Structures are given as structure tokens and as C-alpha cells.
Chain A
């Protein structure tokens, strides 16, 4: 069973609404990734953190998404104004070190934007 906890499992929003999802990484894992898996099963990397610092992010994430990993709180990914094309499975993964590519994934949050 996954030790990366993502909530909620399912999220339904209307276009233009905010959509927020959370992730608790595996204990002791300071590196956190967010990926988007669309209906065609294509993965898109969104952003990653080491502790509270952003390491990398794509343009889309900079413009319409906000993400953070505060200390002693769950990480979060928020879409400011949801679009139909944002409907996807959002996967959070954590890793023990920056050089350890073994990722531990949560079950994901399935977002449907109506």
C-alpha cells in the first residue's frame, strides 16, 4: 500500500473554479513531484520540490497552477481557474534524496472539470 497519501481521491469542479489537492509525502522524503496523467495516459511533469523550495516547474504550472510544500503541512497543488483540459489524474510522488530516482507514488487525485 502506498505511503504517499493524496486527497481527495476524486474532485469535480466547474470551469473557472479553483481546484485544490493535497499530498502527504512518505515520511522522511524531502523531494516531492507532481505529475499530470491525462486521458491518453500521457504523463506531464508539473513541478518538484526539495523541502519547501521549488526545484523545477513547467510554464503551465507557473501561470495557472500554484503549488507549495510547507513544513509540517501537506503539500498542495491548486489550479486557479480550472479548464476542461485540466481533467486528469494528478499524481504526487516523493523521493528520499535528490539523487534517488526511485519515486513513491500516491493513488492520485482524479479531477473532472465539467
Chain B
């Protein structure tokens, strides 16, 4: 089936350091996968951080970036310099293009950024 494997938390990084949260996917039933990073900040609901629907493209938001790599089936999340406000749980997700069908989520990585 379709699945996502990602770095699982906790991940602790000092402020201004760089961050990478790994994500790989398996899309056996999806012809054109869409890839997402969702984030849950403390006290808030899950929200979309970034989305990429075309292989080879890069998505970015709030200083985070992720490149859809079809060859390595990866969608790693990176940030050059994290801030304390980035502390949250990050989920990689996989969906099918254009149908609004269900997403497959990773288990989430809890990021703590220390001052």
C-alpha cells in the first residue's frame, strides 16, 4: 500500500542551527503522488506547511523547504536556521493528485528548538 516513513521525534535543535527531517514514501497505488508537510504547533490544529505536486519541484514556506525527489522517493524537510517558534510536530504526507482522496501520513517528528 501507500505509506510514508519519516524521522520520528523527538528532534532537538538549538536556535539558529540547521534542520533536516527525513521523509521517504512508497506510492504503489498512486500514479501521480502529491507530497505535503503538515505542522501542528502547540495548542493548534494540523495545518499545511507546504505542498509539492510535481516531481523535481521544491516547495517552501516560513523558511522551510522540501524537494520532491522521485528517484529517491524522498521529500525531506529542511531549514537553514531554526527559531524557537518552529517548535512543533511535523508530519510528512502523501496523496493522490487531483482527486481529493485520503492522505497517508507519517508518524510525525516533534521538534524542540532550544534558545
Check if B36 is an interface residue, CB within 8 A of chain A: yes
Check B107–A100 contact: CB distance below 8 A.
no
Interface residues on A, range: 20 to 34
Check A101–B45 contact: CB distance below 8 A.
no
Q: How many A-B residue pairs have CB under 8 A?
A: 61
What DSSP secondary structure best describes chain B's contact surface?
loop
Residues of A within 8 A of B104 (CB): 43, 45
A105-B108 CB under 8 A given contacts A45-B103, A48-B102: no
Alpha-carbon distance A40/B9, docked complex (angstroms): 12
Check if A82 is an interface residue, CB within 8 A of chain B: no
Check if B101 is an interface residue, CB within 8 A of chain A: yes
Check B103–A103 contact: CB distance below 8 A.
yes
Show the binding face of A for B, using Cβ within 8 Å. 1-2, 4, 31, 33, 35, 40-43, 45, 48, 50, 55-56, 91, 93, 95, 97-108
